[in-house]
Amino acid sequence: MAKLKLSDPGDPTVRQSGIGGSDSAAIAGLNKWRTPLDVYLEKRGLTEDIDSEAAEWGTILEPVLLRQYAKRREVFLLGRDEDGDPTMWDPMGDPNPARSLGHLLDTVRDPCYKWRMCHLDGVVLDDEANPVRLLESKTSSAYRSQEWGDEDTDEVPEEYVIQCQHNAGVFKAAHKLALPVDLMALIGGQKFRVYNIAYRESLDEKLLGMERLFWDRVQEEDAPEPTERDAPALARLYPEDEGEEKVIGPESSLNSLAMHLSEVKEEEKRVQAARAQAEVNFKAEMKDLAKMIGDGWSVTWKQTKDSVKVDWEAAFKQLAKDFIELDFNEVDAHVAEIESAHTQSKDGYRRFTFRFDKEGD
């Protein structure tokens, strides 16, 4: 295991030294992008945790959101600027260096459980520089906009509720202050919202219990069972085969697993055939209709646009062959001629789409 470090949230080894807020949500099975096995492999140093481009942009935009929060809420706010330096934004949104308060932004650890930690995006301070609220910053795709409720409520994706509760619990343990968390969200790149997550001691205790069990498994090298989403994690863990074979005896539980997989595949074939037959039945009823609407369902069978594809590899080979024989003034016309010769048009087709709205959706 990596040596325990007490600060410096920018150090990658800090992630391996304990459980943070986003880890907590993943351990609970609520993170859409990470599973408990992903977290386990990271803590054991068995796989590299690579931030997505979306996460990278979230980090880039974080100082912008902090400044907007300070201006809109007219408060003093401690966070980090674009260079990662501790900064205080005043109620006008103007930044000022705040190195003397930078310790509040270091890795915060529960003094009783050093492995339980959090990294705060920001802290709201009163006139005497005392923390009064914690801040979490998120950027969210427009495709997830329906997961966010009205501003100044706690109607946010459940994984973020867990993350905020974890952070508030660690901060309380470290500083003896039970503070609420304001979650800033930039939704779809243009809607700035602030949500309020109150600290709940009962939930904090449940999270602590769950995290203790998980951390014990990390120490004991007892990996959690993989879920249906863990194919990428297993591929990273075992990227290559060693060319060996193993004969499984009749008493092995793998025989039951093999039988189950065979049955699932047969069921999958049956479902695919049933789906194909149902779609064919709909198409036979629709004939040349583009759309049908029923009681809680709709189905479309619309023509897609024609497409054009150029075989650029063949075109460039032809151009390279002919170029030395061309006069300079003939190049443009010849390029257009070659492009046309290697362009294929493909007619559109009718795309079938079925939607069924369940009651209450």
The pTM of the whole model exceeds 0.85: no
Task: Specify the DSSP class assigned to residue 116.
Answer: B
Phi first, then psi, for residue 168 (nearest 5°) are -65, -40
Q: Where in the chain is the domain with CATH 3.90.320.10?
A: 12-231
Q: What is the CA radius of gyration of the chain?
A: 28
Which three-class secondary structure state does DSSP give residue 308?
strand
pLDDT at 9: 52
Q: Are 147 and 49 in contact (CB under 8 A)?
A: no
Digit-coded pLDDT (tens) for 51-75? 667 778 888 899 999 999 999 999 9
Q: How confident is the model at residue 4 (pLDDT cuts 50, 70, 90)?
A: very low
pLDDT at 201: 96
Task: Report how far residue 13's alpha carbon sits from residue 5's, in angstroms, rounded to the nearest whole number.
Answer: 8
Digit-coded pLDDT (tens) for 339-356? 788 788 887 777 888 888
Residue 248 has pLDDT above 70, yes or no: yes
Give the residue, 328 or 168, on which the prediction is more confident. Answer: 168
Angle of helix 201-219 relative to helix 158-175, nearest 10 degrees?
A: 90
pLDDT at 313: 75
* Across 29-33, 129-133, 272-276, least confident range: 29-33
Distances (CA, A) of 99 to 78, 90, 92, 133, 199: 10, 15, 20, 19, 28
Residue 5 has pLDDT above 80, yes or no: no
Which three-class secondary structure state does DSSP give residue 43?
helix
Digit-coded pLDDT (tens) for 155-209? 999 999 999 999 999 999 999 999 999 999 999 988 999 999 999 999 999 999 9
Q: Are 148 and 193 in contact (CB under 8 A)?
A: yes
Q: Which CATH number fits domain 12-231: 3.40.50.970, 3.90.320.10, 3.10.20.30, 3.20.20.70?
A: 3.90.320.10
